[in-house]
């Protein structure tokens, strides 16, 4: 979420070098803007500017952690880390940040990766990381910490080896609303109506497939 789309895009494109690939009216949200910058061939970072966001207070320790070790409310973003291709890329990004007047700490060697830490507009806490090899779960899953988190041995094994899932021949029916499960925050009556709709109705009524700029003739 942002209250200043331009400032975020200037930082992520000009300071970090991530190209802007989309900016358009946010689908289904009147007056809102949606923008995307490209992280790599497969990943994007999106910003939303929704009317009323300028009135929402930002408070370090509640809405924002302020740094990689800080606290923020459950369910909020503590910090976001994105991958760079190699160590040279990590150091290049560090120096690019500093050349633009942005403090960048690191690299710090975490064993499983090396990373740098820095801030973005509106109190974002950001990290860029690189790892020479995939994380080895046999070395990095600490059973002592898992036990302290209330995870049993059986749960730990299940967490490390999630059951595979194969999509069935027929779509799975929408489940009934279960208050013990996670839910999006819509008005209750509207949410019940939305959940009751068939998938094709949701697709047809909520889709915006056409880009905002027509293709060249």
Asked if the structure places residue 147 within a domain, the reply is: yes
- How many CA atoms within 13 Å lie on the side-chain side of 213? 5
Asked if the structure places residue 216 within a domain, the reply is: no
Asked if the structure places residue 100 within a domain, the reply is: yes
The alpha helices in 5-164, defined as continuous H runs, are 5-10, 87-99, 137-140, 143-148, 153-160
Q: How many CB atoms lie within 10 A of CB 182?
A: 6
pTM of the model: 0.91
**Domain of 33?**
1-56
- CATH code, domain carrying 121: 3.10.180.10
Element (H, E) at 199: helix 199-206
* 3 and 44 assigned to the same domain: yes
**Cα separations (Å) of 178 from 68, 175, 181, 190, 192?**
34, 8, 6, 16, 11
d(CA 41, CA 148): 38
d(CA 105, CA 110): 13
What residues contact 12, with CB distance under 8 A and at least 6 apart? Answer: 18, 20, 37, 45, 120
Rg (CA), the chain: 21
Q: What is the side-by-side strand order in the sheet with 44-49?
A: 20-25, 33-38, 44-49
Q: What is the pLDDT of residue 126?
A: 98
* 115 and 157 assigned to the same domain: no
* 45 and 107 assigned to the same domain: no
Q: What is the pLDDT of residue 46?
A: 97
Asked if the structure places residue 191 within a domain, the reply is: no
Which domain-ending residue is among 133, 150, 173? Answer: 133
Q: What is the pLDDT of residue 94?
A: 98
* 144 and 119 assigned to the same domain: no
pLDDT along the chain (217 residues), means of 10: 97 96 96 95 94 96 96 96 95 98 97 97 97 95 96 96 96 96 96 96 95 94
Number of domains making up the chain: 3
Asked if the structure places residue 202 within a domain, the reply is: no
d(CA 39, CA 122): 20
Q: What is the pLDDT of residue 41?
A: 87
């Amino acid at each position: 979420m942002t209250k200043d789309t331009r400032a975020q895009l200037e930082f992520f494109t000009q300071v970090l070098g991530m190209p802007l690939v989309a900016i358009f009216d946010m689908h289904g949200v009147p007056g809102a803007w949606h923008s995307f910058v490209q992280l790599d061939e497969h990943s994007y970072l999106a910003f939303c500017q929704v009317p009323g966001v300028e009135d929402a207070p930002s408070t370090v320790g509640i809405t924002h952690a302020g740094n990689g070790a800080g606290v923020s409310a459950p369910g909020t973003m503590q910090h976001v880390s994105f991958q760079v291709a190699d160590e040279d890329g990590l150091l290049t990004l560090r120096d690019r940040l500093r050349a633009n007047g942005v403090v960048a700490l690191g690299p710090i060697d975490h064993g499983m990766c090396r990373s740098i830490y820095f801030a973005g507009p509106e109190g974002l806490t950001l990290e860029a990381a690189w790892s020479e090899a995939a994380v080895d779960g046999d070395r990095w899953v600490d059973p002592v910490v898992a036990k302290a988190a209330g995870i049993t041995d059986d749960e730990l094994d299940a967490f490390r080896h999630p059951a595979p899932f194969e999509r069935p021949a027929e779509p799975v029916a929408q489940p009934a609303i279960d208050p013990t499960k996670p839910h999006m925050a819509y008005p209750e009556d509207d949410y019940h109506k939305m959940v009751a709709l068939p998938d094709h109705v949701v697709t047809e009524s909520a889709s915006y497939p056409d880009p905002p700029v027509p293709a060249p003739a």
